[in-house]
Structure 1
Amino acid sequence: MPPARGLAATWWWPKPQVGNTHPGATSPLGMVSACAYSGAYPTGYGRYAKNTEGVPEEMFERLQASGFTHFQQSGTGAIRKYYNYVRVTPMVQPLDDLNESWPLHDEVAEAGYYAATLDTGIRCELTVGAKIAVHRYTFPEHSSARVVIDLSCGGLDIDLGRTVPVRAQAESMGQGRAQGTVVMEGVPLSVYLEVDSPGWRQMLWYDRRLIHGGTRLDFDSIRHTTLRPFGMLFMGPARAGQTVEVRLGFSLRGCEQARHNLERECAHDSSAFDTVRLRTRARWADHLGRVQVEGGTPARRTVFATSLYHALVKPCFADDESPFWPSPGPFAFDVCTMWDIYKTQLPLLAAIVPDRAADLLESLIRVAEEEGNFPIGYRMARGADRFFRQGSALVHTALADAHVLGRTALDWNWALVHMVGDLRRMYGEDFFEHGVVHPITHTLDLAYAHHCTAKVARALGDRRLADDLERRGRQWTNAFDRDTGLLRDSEFYEGGKWNYSFRLLHDMAARIALAGGDKEFVDKLDRFFGFGARPVRQPGRCPHPVEMAAGYALNRFEGLNNEPDMEAPWAYHYAGRPDRTAEVVHAALTWQFGTGPGGLPGNDDSGGLSSWYVWASIGLFPVAGQSLFLVNAPAFERAVLRTGEGEFVVETSGHRETPIGVDGPDHDPPPQYVQSATLDGEPLHATHLDAATVHRGGVLRLRLGPEPSDWGREIRPPSLSETPPHRR
């Protein structure tokens, strides 16, 4: 992206300015994705090595692929779980060349579709359904073309990035049919496949050697030191332009269910690829149509559409597929992680795909039943306690919001049991005993989770439990140093005390008083966001530790580069300065996002960052756990949010189109400010709306202007220690 100007130029971001997404075929919140595989970090697609600071280092000089894999991560960082299972490689070379990578040309990426041409002249097209993938390969003329399925593939070609199956079996079933299962990190992934290649032979292979006449391979124990690649191969002569279709059904419950999944979603004819592609395209059109905008420059509209798309790729839903419990129902994985998505993406899913949001909560409750605690991150692997260093008890926010809305058919008494039990796990035990825990950010997490749980308990009629939880929820104050108004010194996960000190707590009025009042709080925010500061130099490739230390010492906003920073701009609302929120959000929308491969300010975080862009662009921001939306000047003239009950419309007057950085402005375009507002025709003097209002539908009209106004300065968003109308 171009160098930032104005306020955005004072921000400092340590992470690479890339989203770590991939262009492969996906289905909305589906189980399966498919993309070209190079082994690069972190999705398996692309050219870059593992990178967490500065400009990313190149792993390859060109875009290339050794085949096409399934189950890619999206927007994550160093999570040590990278999937990329079941590699399919179309070849006109001997099997010995299986791991060779060929340059990619003429790439095409659409929602639900990916295509590229290998340097060998083979045109490769991929599409997916919810639980299936279909590949179509168009070959040049060759006497011995082939399609090779590698069941042993997994992970990335980086240090500690490879995933090795511990057990496996593969079976050739004749007439273009085969199946297999690999157990990866305790999960049995099964695939049933059909290859439409009349007249071709099919064989199993092991260690790049064909097994003539063999119909089954079994591996009872595999180690890193004993692994040799294995799989199936289909081969025969190809005419110029001949197409071969590979149809794959996946399941976490065995090959028979994988076969049923394929039959359910895919016809057994030559039009299967086109049928699946059109069906998935229609699903994407429906999902993406649930948020519509009018106005905006072409670049801004492109970034918005891409952000909404990325927000609907993860988590992965595999209904009736849990390998850990036998009963039917929703099973969600690739929750990577709650720390990334609970503030922005989960409220977006709750608004526009409420059925899936409810399924996610049901799945997470089932994980708590089976594994003992709510997960911070949950992948295609057993282990709900992974990522616990990032945060504590974050599922409670989504459950509290869902209960207030009253549209989720959960057993809430049973949910409350798990919410209360989870508060005592991991860092929660120390918090229960001492009211404070280090890393100090977990004190904020746990206090907030107690508050969220108290709301559910009170609504269910358990006043004694609610009183106790609410009392413990007030212990967030133990995390702050009253002399500085910031968090106490501690260890911090990817950040420092400045990053975490401006979270939107359940008692922001008391938080602001702790900092010394409105002026002192705003002064701290202004320092954090760089108002009046000089532009800073961003880290380059392989930055020196001294350079990084100097950057961190700025204690500056990281430009959405880190999860705690996502909600910080809206802290101004609670101090009566929505004009400052407008300036920070406008600078981020203008200079932090672009249309190119580097068009995201850091990891997309499984859609959490892209969801931030969607909310900020339409002028709303959810406060997770408080059933609340904050209002800000939108980036579009008009936006329509199609919720579960109706349509919530944000309309503006006086809106002025502003370019984003990739449009090449030679100056920093000024922000716009809300001058006045109405909701369904009635004056709205507050800068917030309750979530039920947004979900129910209505019309919010905002009059915009070029100068700050008095709108929103008097009536503040609600705080626990204050009663409406929250005036100062």
Structure 2
Amino acid sequence: MGNTHPGATSPLGMVSACAYSGAYPTGYGRYAKNTEGVPEEMFDRHQASGFTHFQQSGTGAIRKYYNYVRVTPMVQPLDALGESWELHDEVAEAGYYAATLDTGVRCEITVGPKTAVHRYTFPEHRSARVVVDLSCGGLAIDLGRTVPLRAQVESLGYGQAHGTVVMEGVPLSVYVQAETPGWRQMLWYDRRLIDGGTRLDFDSIRHTTLRPFGMLFMGSARAGQVVEIRMGFSLRGHEQAKQNLERECGRDGEPAFNVVRSRTRARWREHVGRVQVEGGTQARRTVFGTALYHSLIKPCVADDESPFWPTSGPYAFDVCTMWDIYKTQLPLLAAIAPDRHTDILESLIRVCEEEGNFPIGYRMARGADRFFRQASSLAHTALADAHALARPGIDWSWALVHMVDDLRRMYGEDFFEHGVVHPITHTLDLAYAHHCTARVARSLNDRRLADDLERRGRQWVNAFDPATGLLRDSEFYEGGKWNYSFRLVQDMAARIGLAGGDAAFIGMLDRFFGYGADPVKQPGRCPQPAEMAAGYALHRFEGLNNEPDMEAPWSYHWAGRPDRTAEVVHAALTWQFGTGPGGLPGNDDSGGLSSWYVWASLGLFPVAGQNLFLINAPAFGRAVLQAGDGEFVIETSGHRETPIGVDGLDRDPPAQYVQSATLNGEALHTTHLSAAEVHRGGRLHLKLGPEPSKWGQELRPPSLT
């Protein structure tokens, strides 16, 4: 399960909106919580109790699922609030979601960066209503509920109201405008109307004292009557929420749905239009377009909305997590959404300044170290890449201060003292972060600092057992020793030497990817820990359903076997992705997995932190990437169209291999390009064929030594 949702979103925007069933993990769908194997069903149908705002995208056990401010169109009494109705005739487009409830109400939602607009078409009824529930939050699973700590709601009359709920330390404000001529406007508490009341205040709410509350609009509806609810959101109070609403939707009294939908559609067209592909089957183009779309949903970037520092500037949340996105998604954003990419990094620097460390994951709440077990110091990699591209908008001297300070936090202190730390994967992270920080320091002419950082960066070797060529025994986060052992370190030549040379390293990779091995039995419904442990004990590639070995197929490049990369990547693109439910091999992880698909399909792969792209046979005959101000074209000769295997192909289509390459008309004998070359623009031509060639066997990608 990819754990995505079909709701309305805006590119990297703050607000999303979707039908809400309470199912894991986004609040939409039918399934119970699962991170391994086949999920159990919570419901036997697609259903919704209303439409909520702020959803995760593709995450696993993130433990913060939002779904705030539920809006429910009803033709039942208020006592029925919380019941679910079956969804029919669902439609999902970029920036738009629609469905019809069993009650006969047609529901449509669109969003802007900081707003949502709901449009409901009612059947004839003498007592129709739209109910806004400000108490809603989280999921209908064990320990999945989010309860407001404090709240305030005020009815302003004339179809206007506002409210603020404090959720996990964050004050979320909403300003509501309702286009409901002749309808009454009231507040409610514990499913009872408050006649004549204009304000509700809750100074302290606990799980045991929570009763639902909110506002509603009700009246008689003629058949086909349309009601529009406009909502502006802010993390800095209802006045700013109102300003956001007016900025994106216009003044009260003017229908805004079509205007907002059109603007968001245009934003999506602008963003996804920065990558164009030609050729390929319809199914493959559909998967590619969907992957590109999923790559542009998160993180959320909200200008001037930080609830934690008072100054203006970008505030990025739902960085869920750097472990998921630093290898694939952030390099993609650097190419096709460079301004927002800079905003994300600027926000991470500000979080480090305000909270004391760069976050591995950052949700709409304080607690930047919440995901520290996953990895260490990954922001350094993204910052080094941005610095190498000479990105404007970042004070690099100030950034370097925080990069250096952060290296000593959490596991970094033990690394500083001993040169090795457990979990052993953090040794790789910290050594790589030292290397990346050294690059920034050297460019700023702090040679002494750079030399010291580079020396510590070489301690990545301490993570490996020279007797096996693999990582040392340790604890591993969501994976095993083999999954993490083929990371692309800064000195792959030395890494291959540590494994015993090219042949030995290739043999290890072949074993890892299952060449000549029996098929692996996939885990079933809710597998027990013993079953998962037995799977990890196979020491096999996880097939892209987790992050640790996402870049492992490209390790072959440094051993002179790009043909092996072509085979593994081709198999993954062909057999692990499809157009239907279950069309992703695992959690999409906020776009990290989808970004992998985009790069792999283009025949490029970014080596995060090394200002480097690796070349492989692409999935399309021609592609154009608008990277910054340049246009980078990947074109092929001899390209063969390949269907997607999970969509009905009953044989294994062979991979294609690069026979030769040219860059801007000049012969290219290496399997890599600098990131600067890609971002500057140019034309890469790849001649493809059905058999491996000698291309790329001699000239390897660069290594530190």
**1:321 pairs with 305, 314, 335, which one?**
305
Deviation at 1:188, TM superposition (A): 0.3
Question: d(CA) in 1 for partners of 2:526 and 2:56?
Answer: 24
Question: Who is 1:379 aligned against?
Answer: 363
Query: 1: distance between equivalents of 2:529 and 2:330?
Result: 36
> Superposition pairs for residues 93-132 of structure 1, below 5 Å?
93-132=76-115
| DSSP 3-state at the match of 1:712 | coil
Report the alpha carbon displacement of residue 636 of structure 1 after superposing the two structures with TM.
0.1
Deviation at 1:565, TM superposition (A): 1.6
Q: 1:668-720 CA distances to partner (integer Å, 9 max, x unpaired)?
A: 00000000000000000000000000000000000000000000000000000
Please give the secondary structure, in 2, of the residue aligned with 1:513. helix
Aligned residue number for residue 61 of structure 1 = 44
Structure 2 stretches lacking a partner, 5+ long: none
Q: Give the CA deviation at 1:52.
A: 1.5
Shift of 1:551: 1.5
For 2:413, which of 429, 437, 441 is the aligned residue?
Answer: 429
Tell me the amino acid that sits aligned with residue 147 of structure 1.
V
Q: What's 1:623 paired with?
A: 607
What CA RMSD, in Å, does the superposition of the two structures yield over aligned residues?
0.7
Of the three residues 81, 84, 89, the one matched with 2:64 is 81
TM-score (norm 2): 0.99
Instruction: Return the offset for 1:90.
Output: 0.2
Indicate the SS of the match to 1:483. Answer: coil
Q: Which residue matches 2:447?
A: 463
Question: Taking structure 1 as the reference length, what is the TM-score of the superposition?
Answer: 0.96
SS class of match (1:115)? strand
Which residue of structure 1 aligns with residue 352 of structure 2? 368
1:657 aligned counterpart, secondary structure:
coil
* 1:192 corresponds to: 175
- Which residue, 105, 112, 127 being the options, matches 1:144? 127
Query: What secondary structure does 2:548 align onto?
Result: helix
Which residue in 2 is equivalent to 1:257?
240
SS at match of 1:564: coil
For 1:58 and 1:146, the matched residues in 2 are separated by 31
For residues 151-170 of structure 1, what are the structure 2 equivalents within 5 Å?
151-170=134-153
> Whole-Å Cα distance in 2 between the matches of residues 222 and 710 of structure 1?
68
Aligned equivalent of 2:339, options 350, 355, 368: 355
> What pairs with 1:191-590 in structure 2 (closer than 5 Å)?
191-267=174-250, 268-590=252-574
**Partner residue, 1:657:** 641
Q: Contact 1:139–1:240 at 8 Å: present in 2 too?
A: yes
Query: Contact 2:576 / 2:646 at 8 angstroms: preserved in 1?
Result: no
1:149-201 CA distance string (max 9 Å, x none): 00000000011110001000000000110000000011000000001000000
**SS of equivalent residue, structure 1 residue 248:** strand
Q: For residue 44 of structure 1, what is the aligned residue in structure 2?
A: 27
Offset at residue 270 of structure 1 (A): 4.7
The alignment partner of 2:353 has SS state of helix
Flag the 1:544–1:411 CA change in 2: closer, same or farther, 3 A.
closer
| 8 A contact 1:653–1:702 mirrored in 2 | yes
Distance apart, 1:269 and its partner CA: 4.3
Aligned partner of 1:190: which letter?
S
1:683 to 667, 670, 678: 667
Q: Over residues 41-95 of structure 1, what are the superposed CA-to-partner deviations in whole Å (9 max), with x where a residue is unaligned?
A: 0000000000012101101110000000000000001111000000000000000
The CA deviation string for residues 206-225 of structure 1, in whole angstroms up to 9 with x for no partner, is 00010000000000011111
Amino acid at match of 2:83: E
* Residue of structure 2 equivalent to 1:6: none
Alignment partners' CA distance in 2, 1:459 and 1:544: 51
Cα distance in 2 for partners of 1:469, 1:148 equals 58
Q: CA deviation at 1:409?
A: 2.2
Separation (CA, whole Å) in 2 of partners of 1:339 and 1:677: 33
- 1:267-292 CA-to-partner distances (Å, cap 9, x unmatched) read 33453100100110010000010000
Mapped pair 1:638 → 2:622: yes
Q: Distance in 1 between matches of 2:479 and 2:532?
A: 12
Which ranges of structure 1 fall in alignment gaps of 5 or more residues? Answer: 1-17, 722-728
CA shift for structure 1 position 473? 0.1
Structure-1 separation of matches of 2:147 and 2:528? 34
SS at match of 1:597: coil
Deviation at 1:549, TM superposition (A): 2.6
- Rounded Cα–Cα distance in structure 1 between residues aligned with 2:537 and 2:382: 34
Give the count of matched residue pairs: 704
Question: How big is each residue's C-alpha offset from its partner over 1:455-482, in whole Å with a ceiling of 9 and x where there is no partner?
Answer: 0000000000000000000000000000
How far does residue 259 in structure 1 lie from its aligned partner after superposition? 0.2
Is residue 186–residue 215 contact of structure 2 (8 Å, CA) maintained in 1?
Answer: yes
1:717 counterpart SS class: coil
Match of 1:596 in 2: 580
Q: Residue 30 of structure 2: SS of its match in structure 1?
A: coil
Letter of the 1:387 partner, please give it.
F
CA–CA distance in 1 between the matches of 2:527 and 2:63? 23
Q: CA shift at 1:345, angstroms?
A: 0.1
| Paired amino acid for 1:399 | L
C-alpha distance in 2 between matches for 1:258 and 1:678: 53
Aligned residue identity for 1:109: A
Q: What amino acid does structure 2 have at the position aligned with 1:237?
A: S
Q: CA deviation at 1:546?
A: 3.6
Deviations 1:487-518 (CA, angstroms, capped at 9, x unpaired): 00000000001000000000000000000000
Answering whether residue 52 of structure 2 is matched by residue 92 of structure 1, we say no
1:552: how far off?
Answer: 1.6
Take 1:160 and 1:695, find their aligned partners in 2: how far apart are those partners? 45
Alpha carbons 1:299, 1:662 under 8 Å: kept: no
Q: Is contact 2:433–2:457 with CA below 8 Å preserved after alignment? A: yes
Secondary structure in structure 2 of the residue aligned to 1:331: strand
- The question of whether the paired residues in 1 share the 8 Å contact of 2:34 and 2:526 is answered with no
Cα distance per residue 1:437-459 (max 9 Å; x no partner): 00000000000000000000000
Identical aligned pairs, as a percentage?
Answer: 84
Would the aligned equivalents of 1:351 and 1:695 in 2 still touch at CA under 8 Å? yes
Residues 606-652 of structure 1: per-residue CA shift (max 9 Å, x gap):
00000000000000000000010000000000000001121000000
Is the 8 Å Cα contact of residues 228 and 255 (structure 2) preserved in structure 1? Answer: no
- Aligned residue among 686, 696, 699 for 2:683: 699
8 Å CA contact retained: 1:340, 1:563: yes
Offset, 1:570: 0.2
Shift in Å, 1:663: 3.3
**SS of 2:145's equivalent?**
coil
